[in-house]
A and B are shown apart, each in its own frame.
Chain A
Amino acid sequence: MGDNTPKRTPVAPGVADEGAQIDIVGLTKRFLTPKGQPFTAIRDVSLTVEPGQFCAIVGPTGCGKSTTLAQVSGLERPSGGSVQVGGHIVDGITNGVSYMFQADSLFPWKTVLQNVMIGPVLLGTSKKEAMVLALDWLRRVGLSGFEDRYPHQLSGGMRKRVALAAALINNPRILLMDEPFGALDVQTKAIMQTELLGLWEELRPSVLFITHDLDEAVALSDRVVIMTTSPGTVKDIFDIDLPRPRGDVQTLRHEKRFIELQTQIWESLRDEVQRAYQRTTGVAA
């Protein structure tokens, strides 16, 4: 894996790096199906995430949202078009990126502390320093005292906090989140969203946030991108002008401007959702 930019170093929390700009231009990704047929997951996707911006991607199931993230992280190579991060074309794993998945993606065989430490350790930080950093991050996500637990001993919300600490400890310039709160119950989800906003406002990485949940997208982001059904491409981009800091996500939901924006975006999303649904149920569109 060729690292394309100089080695990152984990920074003490609070000393935030600038988030990096993400430019996606004409991005296309084709896969070979197991039968050998080419399949176009995304076609000609173009979007820009400004440094430090929180950008949500919303779209029906299977529209290539996750594929887009994989191209940005450098885990996969685009079939056409390009992704630039901070002005550098992505080839190989992008530097300064953290990923958060819907599944916990915690190491079940590592303790909470070891799970959070892994980021700095992989960058070559000494165990001691990594531990100090990890302890501080566990405190910030409210998990002091749980250092020696294993992931299976925690609740879903607590596991998400660990994953959040593990994703943020390296002070990423870009945070990629693939439906991170999709599996949580409604109350826990709201708490985690508020917490994420708080931490994001401190560190200000650029965020690409995938979700099915339109409320979530509007509440959290500066910009909402609607994608079409497969092959996925950008349908609409909405700027969310709700003031920051947004505070509690649950109270935000009742504000007039929130409801306006939500309704407006839903108009755009509805057609796509219906088309995707008809496709899966086999009804002609």
Chain B
Amino acid sequence: MSTLIQHNRGAAAARATGTPALQSEAELQASARRSRSRNRTWVWVGRIAVAVIFIGGWQLLAQNKILDPFFYGEPTLIWDSLVTLFTAGTAFGSIWDQLWVTVQEALFGFLLGTIAGVIFGILLGSNRYLSNVFNPYIKVLNSIPRIVLGSIFIVAFGLGIFPKILLAAVLVFFAVFFNAYQGVREVDQNLVANVRVLGASPLQVARHVTIPSAMTWIIASLHTAFGFAIIGALVAEVLGAQKGIGLIISQSQGRFDPNTVFACMVIMAVVTLGAEYLITLLERSVLKWRPPVRSDTQAI
């Protein structure tokens, strides 16, 4: 936009002075680059402003007792407890130990849930009979509050790592399952007909058409699925654990220590962001065949 205005201005100026308004290819490119980097700078300025206003406002309100820091914590104190967590450790050992346990649970739960979700999704998506049989049960399972299953898993399997993996996997499963199922349903029937006419076996149809086509949907679901895995692991730890970030959270809750709870939230947010980044990398490499999305191609 602004470049356009500039060009017009340049042209006007050129007309005024009587010289032809010649804009070489290089000039156009340079000005496009400038406007792009300017845009990027402004986005970052905006982002930082939002953070400063939010955290600064919170700090001010808490210091002036408008927000009771006893309940809502205080950014500086959250920072202090973060430092304490990483330097002095926790009552149950170093913070790295706790974090590793939670990440492990989330990771295994994520893998288990994803694999099961993809297999069942593709199976039911490509078989109308199976899908009709299981349809009501899946709806029922999907509508029950699955978090409560955590209590049952802990009673059944104890305080170890396994029930956490299970709860995370259950949460992940449904997110992935529905997407895989839908993905298979959306497969272009022309493509299927095409390879079948060329002599493809059902397995070859799955390999060459169904799975790659459903992959778009499956990968899209992985973003939310990893969030679910973290939630599953944390909630199961809060319900009962011997190690893990969830345990720190539930202990801090008992000690009326909101700052440590927030500190744990910050830690898990960093982990999730990291995982999100990795999933985006995976998405890019698996789906590199996709046409660029309109909004991605920056209009200059």
Which chain A residues lie closer than 8 Å to B289 at the CB level? Answer: 108-111, 150, 152
Inter-chain contact A97/B190, CB cutoff 8 Å? no
Inter-chain contact A109/B212, CB cutoff 8 Å? yes
Bound-state CA distance A182–B140 (Å) is 46
Bound-state CA distance A194–B198 (Å) is 25
Inter-chain contact B199/A93, CB cutoff 8 Å? yes
Inter-chain contact B193/A123, CB cutoff 8 Å? no
Q: B292 — nearest CB in chain A belongs to which residue? A: A152
Contact with A along B187-206 (1 / 0, CB 8 A): 01011011111111110100
Which chain B residues lie closer than 8 Å to A122 at the CB level? Answer: 195, 198-200, 204, 208
Bound-state CA distance A93–B199 (Å) is 7
Q: Decide if A103 is an interface residue (CB 8 Å cutoff).
A: yes
Q: Decide if A105 is an interface residue (CB 8 Å cutoff).
A: yes
Interface residues of A in 254-276 (CB under 8 A from B): none
Which chain A residues lie closer than 8 Å to B291 at the CB level? Answer: 150, 152-153
Inter-chain contact A93/B196, CB cutoff 8 Å? yes
Inter-chain contact B194/A1, CB cutoff 8 Å? no
CB distance from B8 to the nearest CB of A (A): 33
Bound-state CA distance A103–B208 (Å) is 18
Bound-state CA distance A136–B47 (Å) is 54
Inter-chain contact A103/B190, CB cutoff 8 Å? yes
Q: Decide if B239 is an interface residue (CB 8 Å cutoff).
A: no
Which chain A residues lie closer than 8 Å to B196 at the CB level? Answer: 1, 75, 93
Interface residues of B in 202-221 (CB under 8 A from A): 202, 204, 208-209, 212-213, 215
B residues at A contact (CB < 8 Å): 188, 190-191, 193-202, 204, 208-209, 212-213, 215, 287, 289-291
Q: List 12 A-B contacts (CB under 8 A).
A: A1-B201, A94-B197, A97-B197, A101-B193, A105-B191, A105-B193, A107-B191, A107-B212, A118-B195, A118-B208, A122-B195, A150-B291
A residues at B contact (CB < 8 Å): 1, 3, 8, 70, 73-75, 93-95, 97-99, 101, 103, 105, 107-111, 118-119, 122-123, 150, 152-153, 170, 176
